[in-house]
Structure 1
Amino acid sequence: MAEEGFLIAARPDLANQLQAWAGNLRQERRLSPHTLDAYLRDVRQFLTFLTGHLAGAPGLSDIDNLRPADLRAFLAHRRRDGAGARTLGRSLAGIRSLLRFLEKRGLANAAGIHAMRAPKQPKSLPKPLTDRQAVAVTRSGEQLAEEPWVAARNAAVLSLLYGCGLRISEALALCPQDFAGNPAALHIAGKGGKMRMVPLIPVASAAVHHYRDLCPWHLEAGEPLFRGVRGGTLQPAIIQKEMRRLRSALGLPDTATPHALRHSFATHLLAGGGDLRSIQELLGHASLSTTQIYTGVDTARLLEAYQKAHPRV
């Protein structure tokens, strides 16, 4: 794909459609950069496999003639390379997206991919922080940055993740105008451009205002609120690095990541009596089944407390 440096052997007819598919994912389906990169990478791996499997660069006719056996051979190849069930399931999702795109254009038959079942996914529960751990992470005084404004920035971002349940990409996409007039709520553009409203709790609002007071850069209303040390847009990797440093300083488990603060937001709301439907809306989940995983977290914590405390266990 030209836009993404998709340098893979493919016949011209297929190469042109790959470019169109990538543009569709970005401009019309509006996938997040992370999901888009994953889809492109998975399809690149698939085409690399097909080049060897078919003894030549694949074209549209090869894609049209794909059989379930070809797809199973690709999954077996990836599994031998160490790919797990989640990786294989995502690979199928990327390939399915491409084949559906081609099918809508009358260029391929997607029956083979429709007949494939994704590998059974292992059940795993989100690993939230305790309420005390989450509060410690969001305190400005706990931040390890030498510059006070950088410490305030990190605390503000982490406060939004825990206090509002934001994804890190959503927090870093906020602009000063989103906080105009000291609002009691934020309007967040989530995955696929889906809008939702989340309450802005006073502690998170205060953290943002403290950062703005200390920030040495001029913050235009429509430009990113959170800046790097050179004034550019703050990258997620910087916050992830800070979280790793906090894990060491505060003695937190390896599962304490920026996204774990979003899990903590949902789990603590549920434990406090919040209903699943409201939590679904606050998180921006398209399906209630996605939110229901947090009931498993709450149940697991109750059982753990019971087993530790009951004298007859």
Structure 2
Amino acid sequence: MAAPLTLDDHPARQAAAAFADHLRRNRLRSAHTVRAYVATAHRLIAFLGRHRGEAIDTGFLSAIEPADLRAYLAHRRGEGLTNASAARELSAVRTFLGFVNGEGAAIPRVQAPRVKRGVPRPVTPAEAKALAKDAADAHDVPWLAARDLAVLLLLYGAGLRVGEAMGLDAGLLPLGEAITVTGKGNKARVVPLLPVVREAIQCYAELCPYPLARGIMLFRGAKGGALDAAIVRKAVRAARGRLGLSERTTPHALRHSFATHLLGRGADLRQLQELLGHASLSSTQIYTAVDATHLMDVYRAAHPRA
């Protein structure tokens, strides 16, 4: 009996390596996304080799059948993937096959698992401010306290993703009434800054012991390197624990809160889409459900017959 095929037996593994370079250079995907998508490509190739009992090359991938993809997804679901994870896996597979087969090539259609979109739970303005203040108060070093206050007020007051905040260049200083933020897909957008956010960032910049100049990250770690998003998440976890806030109170929840509170103040969806840097309006429309949910929560808490 022949030995089972391994990943190294498959010529298509070279396509997976080229796929990584394509994602980085042409699609401008993050390092995390590149790792995840390429890992999926390798899993697909290895599975197909076992499933079909032959070495897999790009010719096979070009002629792949829907049944092969359904078998792969069934295999992955058997390994414990949820609907959401399986849908992401299928998206990565389609992207890989699109790269292998060329632009515009037909890719077998396979029904993606249904994913129920959860409604983000925003924190209240008071909770957001308390979270930022508590995270700052946890530091004995004044410039670190000012840094954490500035970062969290920026996430809540400008709706930035934590990665976007970490990527800000110190060349933005001195701050004006708005900043240019580079978001997903390397797309730039202009985001206005509230006075309280500008003041917090300026206070941090004045206290920071490390040079802040163009070409250097604005937010710095304790030893002078670029601040890691993991440090921000850790600070938020500790602060929410001390304040007794929900585990869903995360740095990203501050962005949700920014969106929800703006919508509640009358911002329209197109304006919100631009401020958040969403590629499609459908990503922004979820906040209409958030706002309705928030109003019902207030109603139930306040109305004597609710």
TM-score, with normalisation over the residues of structure 2?
0.92
For 2:33 and 2:103, locate their aligned partners in 1 and report how far apart those are by CA, in whole Å: 23
Q: Tell me what 1:80 maps to.
A: 78
Match for residue 144 of structure 1 among 126, 138, 143 = 138
Match for residue 308 of structure 1 among 267, 290, 301 = 301
Deviations 1:62-112 (A, max 9, x none): 312321111111111111221111111111111111111111179xx6432
Give the counterpart letter for 1:134 in structure 2.
A
Percentage identity across aligned positions?
44
Task: State the secondary structure of the residue aligned to 2:189.
Answer: strand
CA contact (8 A) 2:132 2:153 kept: yes
Alignment of 1:208-247 (within 5 A): 208-247=201-240
Match for residue 155 of structure 1 among 134, 149, 154 = 149
| Corresponding position: 1:254 with 2:247 | yes
Give the counterpart letter for 2:10 in structure 1.
R
Deviations 1:145-204 (A, max 9, x none): 332222211111111111111111111111121233x31100111111111101011111
The gaps in structure 2 that reach 5 residues or longer are 1-5
For 2:278 and 2:243, locate their aligned partners in 1 and report how far apart those are by CA, in whole Å: 31
Give the counterpart letter for 2:245 in structure 1.
L
CA contact (8 A) 1:176 1:221 kept: yes
CA contact (8 A) 2:170 2:213 kept: yes
| Corresponding position: 1:111 with 2:107 | yes
For 2:236 and 2:25, locate their aligned partners in 1 and report how far apart those are by CA, in whole Å: 32
Task: State the secondary structure of the residue aligned to 2:222.
Answer: coil
Q: Select between 144-153 and 73-82 the one with higher mean Cα deviation.
A: 144-153
TM-score, with normalisation over the residues of structure 1?
0.90
Q: Tell me what 1:4 maps to.
A: none
Q: Select between 301-310 and 51-60 the one with higher mean Cα deviation.
A: 51-60
Deviations 1:188-240 (A, max 9, x none): 11111111101011111111111112212122222111111111111111111
For residue 8 of structure 1, report the CA deviation from its aligned partner.
4.3
**Residue 240 and residue 51 in structure 1: after superposition, are their counterparts in 2 closer, same or farther (change >3 A)?**
farther
Task: State the secondary structure of the residue aligned to 1:138.
Answer: helix
For 1:195 and 1:20, locate their aligned partners in 2 and report how far apart those are by CA, in whole Å: 27
Q: Tell me what 1:66 maps to.
A: 64
For 2:198 and 2:7, locate their aligned partners in 1 and report how far apart those are by CA, in whole Å: 48
For 1:44 and 1:137, locate their aligned partners in 2 and report how far apart those are by CA, in whole Å: 42
CA contact (8 A) 2:136 2:146 kept: no
**Residue 168 and residue 10 in structure 1: after superposition, are their counterparts in 2 closer, same or farther (change >3 A)?**
farther
For 1:31 and 1:291, locate their aligned partners in 2 and report how far apart those are by CA, in whole Å: 21
Match for residue 124 of structure 2 among 126, 130, 133 = 130
After superposition, the CA RMSD in angstroms is 2.0
**Residue 100 and residue 201 in structure 1: after superposition, are their counterparts in 2 closer, same or farther (change >3 A)?**
same
| Corresponding position: 1:183 with 2:182 | no
CA contact (8 A) 1:9 1:51 kept: no
For 1:275 and 1:234, locate their aligned partners in 2 and report how far apart those are by CA, in whole Å: 34
CA contact (8 A) 2:98 2:107 kept: no
CA contact (8 A) 2:40 2:89 kept: yes
Alignment of 1:31-42 (within 5 A): 31-42=29-40
| Corresponding position: 1:43 with 2:41 | yes
Q: How many residue pairs are counted as aligned between the two chains?
A: 301
Task: State the secondary structure of the residue aligned to 2:97.
Answer: helix
The gaps in structure 1 that reach 5 residues or longer are 1-6
Task: State the secondary structure of the residue aligned to 2:128.
Answer: helix
For residue 144 of structure 1, report the CA deviation from its aligned partner.
1.7
